[in-house]
Amino acid sequence: MFTDAPNFDIRNYLRMEMMPHFLCPGCGHGMALRALLWALHELDIDKDKLAVVSGIGCAGRLSAYIDANTFHTTHGRPLAYATGLALARPDLHVVVISGDGDCLAIGGNHLIHACRRNLKLTCLMLNNEIYGMTGGQVSPTTSETRLTTTTPLGNTEPNFDACALATAAGAGFVGREVTRHVPKLKELIKAGLQHPGFAFVEVLSDCTEVYGRKNDMGSSAEMVMRQKSEMRPSVYRDSVDTPFRSTDLPTGILTRNDRPEYGASLRRAAALASKGAH
Ligand SMILES: Cc1ncc(C[n+]2csc(CCOP(=O)(O)OP(=O)(O)O)c2C)c(N)n1
Ligand code: SF4
Ligand SMILES: [Mg+2]
């Protein structure tokens, strides 16, 4: 038990029979899992009213460890499964856990449409800038110049700013935090869970074993310290006439609005239809 959370015993929220977990030592995804479970604890969310849906990858694997209703789905598709679940069971808290590859590469189309619909569910995208599980291929969030197994000369593609993308696509709530600040991340996840629409939370996580080694980023402790001192850059340009420039990524709540929630709109339309209004 940590002193910052005297009433929170993470073991009450984990399937202890699944231990030891498969994460590499120092993997940031473990800190993200702790922040999520802590947020659920502080909001006093009944485990029977919680459904965690995940895709495939090291991030996707986390649902297996959570003692709730969990659904480990196919690569890139957790938002599609979660959409059906949240529509059928609006009484549930539906949380999606997805990696940057899962959510933005193969699953990118599902993400933008989930943002556009604004259905009430919470999507945590664990961004370690790499396909960790499959040995370290480049992802849509890999920073430029970084080495991966598929960019042996250094990545030359500009990366996505996932939060800007989610905001532009219409998500009602968008935020970003680093795993280094677990209490801050917990607060951000809590705010997302309480939002009455689609909440997208980007978690800047570290793949120590694959990305860290490949890019000579030092120990897992050094990687996590680096999160504070040098935020990972995203690529922007001010206008089509100016060159690309790197900027720090902002953290915290970046977007919050009260756009109509999709499930409620759909139920309202169905109720009107059943009264013969159409
Ligand atoms: C349809 C399909 N394509 C490819 C794969 C192989 N695959 C499994 S996980 C993964 C990438 C995972 O990367 P990410 O989502 O960033 O998660 P991480 O492991 O980094 O947490 C890929 C390509 C798959 N399982 N299914
Ligand atoms: S391969 Fe990377 S992302 Fe996967 S468990 Fe190991 S450190 Fe974490
Ligand atoms: Mg990844």
Residue 5's CB: how many other CB atoms inside 10 A? 16
- Find out whether the beta carbon of 144 lies less than 6 Å from any atom of ligand 2: no
Residue nearest to atom 24 of ligand 1 (CA): 75
In this predicted structure, what is the pLDDT of residue 237? Answer: 46
In this predicted structure, what is the pLDDT of residue 1? Answer: 47
> Structurally, how many domains does the chain consist of?
1
- 2 in any annotated domain: no
- 143 in any annotated domain: yes
In this predicted structure, what is the pLDDT of residue 235? Answer: 47
In this predicted structure, what is the pLDDT of residue 240? Answer: 53
Euclidean distance between CA atoms 71 and 267, whole angstroms: 25
Q: Which atom of ligand 2 is nearest to the CA of 211?
A: 2
- 42 in any annotated domain: yes
Q: Which ligand is nearest to the CA of 61?
A: 1
Residue nearest to atom 8 of ligand 2 (CA): 27
- Burial annotation 224-260 (CB, 10 A radius, 16+ → b, else e): bebbeeebbebeeeeeeeeeeeeeebebebbbeeeee
- 5 in any annotated domain: no
- 1 in any annotated domain: no
Q: Which atom of ligand 1 is nearest to the CA of 102?
A: 15
Residue 216 makes CB contacts below 8 A (sequence gap 6+) with none
Domain boundaries, position 78: 10-274
CA 170 to chain centre: 17
Closest to 166 (Cα-Cα) out of 237, 205, 117, 132 = 117
Query: How would you write the pLDDT of the chain (278 residues) with one tens digit per residue?
Result: 455 677 899 999 999 999 999 999 999 999 999 999 999 999 999 999 999 999 999 999 999 999 999 999 999 999 999 999 999 999 999 999 999 999 999 999 999 999 999 999 999 999 999 999 999 999 999 998 999 999 999 999 999 999 999 999 999 999 999 999 999 999 999 999 999 999 999 999 999 999 999 999 999 999 988 876 555 555 444 555 554 444 567 889 999 999 999 999 999 999 999 988 66
Pocket of ligand 1 (CB under 6 A): 56-59, 75, 99-102, 126, 128, 130-134, 139, 207
Q: What stretches of 139-229 adopt beta strand conformation (E)? A: 173-178, 198-204
Q: For ligand 1, pick from 133, 149, 211 the residue to mutate: most ligand atoms within 8 Å of CB.
A: 133
Euclidean distance between CA atoms 101 and 105, whole angstroms: 5
- Whether the bond into 20 is cis, omega within 30 of 0: yes
Q: Which ligand is nearest to the CA of 56?
A: 1
CA 28 to ligand 3 centroid distance, Å: 11
Helices (H), 45-201: 78-88, 100, 108-117, 162-169, 182-194
Strand, coil or helix: 278: coil
- 87 in any annotated domain: yes
Predicted model pTM: 0.93
Q: Which ligand is nearest to the CA of 25?
A: 2
Contact assessment for residue 29 and residue 66, using Cβ atoms and an 8 Å cutoff:
no
- 3 in any annotated domain: no
CA 135 to ligand 2 centroid distance, Å: 9
- Find out whether the beta carbon of 134 lies less than 6 Å from any atom of ligand 2: no
254: domain CATH number is 3.40.50.970
Q: For ligand 1, pick from 125, 131, 206 the residue to mutate: most ligand atoms within 8 Å of CB.
A: 131
In this predicted structure, what is the pLDDT of residue 232? Answer: 54
